[in-house]
Amino acid sequence: MAITKSIRHANRYRKIATTLAKHGFGYILQEVGLFHILSLPKRIMSDPNDWNTQSIGVRLRLVVEELGPAFIKLGQLVSTRKDIFPPSIVDELAKLQDHVPPFPYETAKSVIEHDLHEPLGNIYSYFDETPIAAASIGQVHKAVLHDGRDVVVKISRPHIKEIIEQDIDILRDLARLLTQRFQWAQFYQLQDIVEEYASAIRDEFDYFTEARNVEKMARSLQHFESVQVPEVYETWSSRRVLTIEYIDGHKLSELEYSTVEFDKKKLAHHLVDSFLHQVLRTGFFHSDPHPGNLLFKEGNVVVYIDFGQVGRLSKSMRRQFINYVIAMTRRNTRDVAAAIYEMADFPEDMETEIFEEDVEYLLSKYYETPFKEIEIGAAINDVFSTSHRYGISIHKEFTMLAKAIITIESIATELDPDLSIVEIAEPYGKMLVKERLNPRDRIEDVFREGKEQFGYIRELPKEIRSALKKINDDELGVDIRMPRINILMNKLDRIGNRLSFSVILLAFSIVMVGLIVGSTFGDNNSILVQLPVIEISFIVAFFLFVWLLYAIFRSGRF
């Protein structure tokens, strides 16, 4: 088991297990055997009366806040998966914020000078020692370059990569253990969630990745005069330091009190139009466009900032998504279901007729509502949630997109309650339909599909020969998976190790008693008395005893 091999993570495992037990999740630790593996005392279990008045969502939030940056980021990711997790958990985890104290200026200065190989004064003519923002991954300082340009400098927390990687290893272990033991862990796809989280957070603490994202987004939106993306100063950036243009703008909450006059309808239109361009034209979009990552400048300019999280859609994915939206506009249940099958992995034994009946029931609530008045993000998420109940796993790119659409929709509605996303999206839809009907694109699709099928056909004889050879050599077997058998074997190992421990302890006691009795009542001229046999025997037996204990405890099955 990975847990027993990761001795270097032992203290962190204990901290996580202790925190879970303190907040009422000790029964889970017992069920998967972590109490035995980590030799945790039963006294760390909390009194049920201390937490039975709190919901699971509240207790999960408390656990995540106590465990720090990696778990806070995971909680924030879970809060966006409304298609999988119940509202009570999603709403509570949505309250998570990176309320962490900033690290000292001297530490920030040391990181900058180490990574950029220059004294800080040679890079910036002014550097504000007090950060303007601090989060779990890093913090942000205002500064001025020697040519007078205002910039912001993002500095990664020292050793944050090592801390995050350690927690990712532990989360993978826990997700696997829980998935093997609990049906609800399989239903909520915990292992997939952890892998999605690992990919996302690694991009966040690598500022080179974010710099590439900023530059790519700037190129994508360069023709939008009313949209701006800050410039990256690569000379003064590294994996742990990111120097980008400072843009003085207003946040959404500040518009009402600003002395600058804004046309909110135009802002809403620019925001939605630019986002649809990202999704439907380039397939590269800002996947976390919450109000904190948007600014609004004089002249009704929308500014995108913080590109740690982005989504990517291939050409085929964009086509699948538009097929899905078109099917929803037509309220065609079969087409909606067919589009879902293209956008997801689904179990072979799924009852498609019952699933389509549920989709039909779900869409019925929109029948009397003009589609332009429907909240697109909510409608997409409703169908995704229904899909999940049938074991259908929507590809993560589409779940990221659904979350982003919901966020953009809520901001646009706050700016302009009468805005219709469908009307803004209509030109993009027509463009994509034309592309789909373009003869050259159709020929390319047929050629691509034919090439793929030819590859399968070419490999078929080889696969048949391989199968026949295995049958002939009696190597063909049946792979039977029994996840819970591991739990039973662990318990049997513990019982066997405890019996071995007891027998060795008894034998050790008998030998020692025999030696003591022999030395006390035996012949004083005996060689046993002349030599330090008792001491030697005690030392040898003691070391054997310690070695056996170490072997048993290291196995994690005592």
Pairing of strands 301-304, 227-228: parallel
CA distance 558 to 555: 8
**Nearby residues of 115 by Cβ (< 8 Å), 6 or more positions away:** 238, 239, 240, 241
Indicate whether 332 belongs to any domain: no
CA distance 79 to 65: 14
Closest-CA residue to 270 (of 162, 419, 157): 419
Domain ranges, residue 47: 2-97+164-202
DSSP state of 82: T
Question: Do the beta carbons of residue 93 and residue 75 sit within 8 Å?
Answer: yes
Question: Do the beta carbons of residue 506 and residue 548 sit within 8 Å?
Answer: no
CA distance 401 to 378: 12
Residue with tokens 């590859």: 455
Closest-CA residue to 386 (of 351, 402, 362, 365): 362
Q: Which amino acid is at 238?
A: S
Q: What is the dihedral of CA 138, 395, 278, 447, to 10 degrees?
A: 140
CA distance 36 to 6: 16
CA distance 158 to 138: 9
Question: Do the beta carbons of residue 402 and residue 380 sit within 8 Å?
Answer: yes
Report the DSSP beta bridge partners of residue 296: 250, 302
Domain count, the chain: 2
The SS3 of residue 145 is strand
DSSP state of 104: P
Report the DSSP beta bridge partners of residue 133: 140
pLDDT score at 312 = 92
pLDDT score at 367 = 65
Give ∠ CA 414-415-416 in degrees, rounded to 5: 95
pLDDT digits (tens, 9 = 90+) for 436-447: 666 666 566 566
Helix (H) or strand (E) holding 334: helix 333-342
Q: Which amino acid is at 312?
A: R
CA distance 121 to 133: 22
Residue length of the chain: 558
Give 387: exposed, middle or buried? Use CB within 10 Å, 0-12, 13-18, 19+: buried
Closest-CA residue to 110 (of 156, 45, 56, 79): 156
pLDDT score at 122 = 95
Cα–chain center distance at 295 = 26
Closest-CA residue to 392 (of 362, 327, 347): 347
Helix (H) or strand (E) holding 312: strand 310-312
Q: What's the token pair of residue 123?
A: 């890079």
* Largest Cα span, the chain: 109
Query: Phi/psi at 133 (nearest 5 deg)?
Result: -160, 145
DSSP state of 250: B
DSSP state of 282: I
pLDDT score at 124 = 96
> What count of other Cβ atoms lies within 10 Å of the Cβ of residue 126?
13
Q: How far is CA 93 from CA 55, 57, 64, 524, in A?
A: 12, 7, 9, 76
CA distance 236 to 437: 47
pLDDT score at 200 = 79
Q: Which amino acid is at 456?
A: Y
CA distance 468 to 83: 44
Indicate whether 248 belongs to any domain: no
Rounded to two decimals, the pTM is: 0.71
CA distance 301 to 249: 9
Q: How far is CA 82 from CA 101, 166, 379, in A?
A: 30, 27, 12
Question: Do the beta carbons of residue 484 and residue 186 sit within 8 Å?
Answer: no
Closest-CA residue to 77 (of 60, 99, 53, 59): 60
Taking only the tens of pLDDT, the chain with its 558 residues reads 444 445 567 778 888 888 888 888 877 777 776 665 555 555 555 555 555 557 888 888 888 888 887 788 888 878 877 777 888 888 888 887 666 788 999 999 999 999 999 999 999 999 999 999 888 888 999 999 999 999 999 999 888 888 888 888 888 888 888 888 888 888 878 888 888 888 878 878 889 999 999 999 999 999 999 999 999 999 999 999 999 999 999 998 888 888 888 999 999 999 999 999 999 889 999 988 988 899 999 999 999 998 988 999 998 898 888 888 888 877 788 888 888 988 988 887 788 888 888 888 888 876 666 666 677 777 888 888 888 888 888 888 898 898 899 889 889 989 998 887 877 887 877 777 676 666 666 566 566 666 666 666 767 677 777 777 767 666 655 555 554 455 555 556 666 666 666 676 666 667 666 666 665 655 555 555 555 655 666 676 677 667 666 665 555 445
CA distance 354 to 346: 14
